[in-house]
Amino acid sequence: MAQILKVTEKEILFTSGGTESNNLALIGGALANKRSGNHIITTAVEHAAVSQPVAFLQEQGFEVTILPVDGHGVVKLDALEKALRPDTILVSTMMVNNETGAVMPVEKIGAMIQEKCPKALYHVDAIQAFGKYRIYPKKWNIHLLSVSSHKIHGPKGVGFLYINSKAKVQPLILGGGQQNGMRSGTDNVPGIAGLGVAAGQIYRNLDENVEHMYQLKEHIAKGLSEIEDIRINGMALREGAPQILSISVMGVRSEVLLHSLEDKGIYISAGSACSSHKRKPSATLSAMGMSNAQIENTVRISFSEENTFEEVDYCLEVLNEVLPMLKRYARR
């Protein structure tokens, strides 16, 4: 992992996954630096594993600024520039949005923070980006970077947090002092070994994997554009992440479409895959300016380097078959 990110081994801290990495970066980072200031900045489109720890810190007395995004779901850099203050201690943004595939300009954000607020920590939730992009935290002025193993076909229940050697982070799990006192408790050695193997494999064939996923994405988008009442959301296909496509099927509720496709062996998700059971409209899609009606009709199609063009064609075939029927019974 250290070689892939071009960092030192002692800057990699193994965790139980992305959620723990984000919590440690945010809560541990804020607590360790509270003497320098009280101000935290994040965006309106973060995963709950970032937005909830930030809300917790706000309850503890930290001041929080939430940055808006544009219609494609990308954070507005001018808003960040205005929000940065001498007492800003932590900025947290994702690199790839889990619902829309929008890619944040993390390199520009890191440079801006370094120039305007050199003492502030910059945390990047790279859980959807690691294994799809080459990421260089030191070059990009990123101090904390969260990664999850199962997003790259590694074992579940393991991940890591890159912590720059100069960054101050307070441990949240205390006890036996494992990992230089930063995370007590027995390390998940088989999980860590599996993560190492998965990371090595995914980066060995990165360029061809990414190109394959972009081709799948373009292929399905072409087919979808020929189906009435389907909108493709977010950035231009090649500007967004290779593995995520957000679409709105106007007039068909996302859960209804999900179950219809599930019956045919096709699995997609509504909103964030880890919180699809929640009934609240997606904060990400709301922040992009979508109406509640469109949000209710929005689904996420995800790709892996293991998917095939035949699977994409089958998905299009099934959509063409089920959508006319679903629209007939749709609630108007």
Mean pLDDT of all residues in the chain?
A: 95
- Tens of pLDDT, residue by residue over 126-135, are 999 999 999 9
pLDDT reported for residue 196? 96
Mean pLDDT, residues 34-54 taken together: 97
Query: Which stretch of DSSP H or E encloses residue 317?
Result: helix 309-329
Task: Tell me which residues are annotated as active site.
Answer: 274
Mean pLDDT, residues 99-121 taken together: 97
Residue 232 has pLDDT above 70, yes or no: yes
pLDDT reported for residue 271? 66
Residue 32's nearest CA partner among 181, 183, 167 is: 167
Bigger pLDDT: 275 vs 103: 103
Residue 123's nearest CA partner among 25, 38, 200, 28 is: 25
pLDDT reported for residue 238? 96
Q: Tokens in use for 155?
A: 């074992």
pLDDT reported for residue 281? 85
Residue 274 has pLDDT above 90, yes or no: no
Q: What percent of the chain has pLDDT over 90?
A: 93
Structural domains in the chain?
A: 2-203 (3.40.640.10), 206-329 (3.90.1150.10)
Record the pTM. 0.94
Residue 332 has pLDDT above 60, yes or no: no
Contacts of 257 (CB under 8 A, 6+ apart): 249, 268, 299, 322, 326
C-alpha to C-alpha distances, 82 to 65, 119, 234, 238, nearest whole angstrom: 11, 17, 25, 30
CB-CB contact of 39 with 88 (8 Å): yes
pLDDT reported for residue 327? 85
pLDDT reported for residue 156? 98
pLDDT reported for residue 266? 97
Could you tell me the pLDDT band of residue 275, with boundaries at 50, 70 and 90?
A: low
Residue 331 has pLDDT above 80, yes or no: no
Mean pLDDT, residues 79-98 taken together: 97
Residue 244, strand partner residues: 302
pLDDT reported for residue 280? 80
- Tens of pLDDT, residue by residue over 4-22, are 999 999 999 999 999 999 9
**Inter-residue long-range contacts of 222-226, CB under 8 Å, 24+ positions, other chains counted:** 223/312, 223/313, 223/316, 224/316, 224/319
Mean pLDDT, residues 315-326 taken together: 94
pLDDT reported for residue 273? 52
pLDDT reported for residue 233? 95
pLDDT reported for residue 72? 96
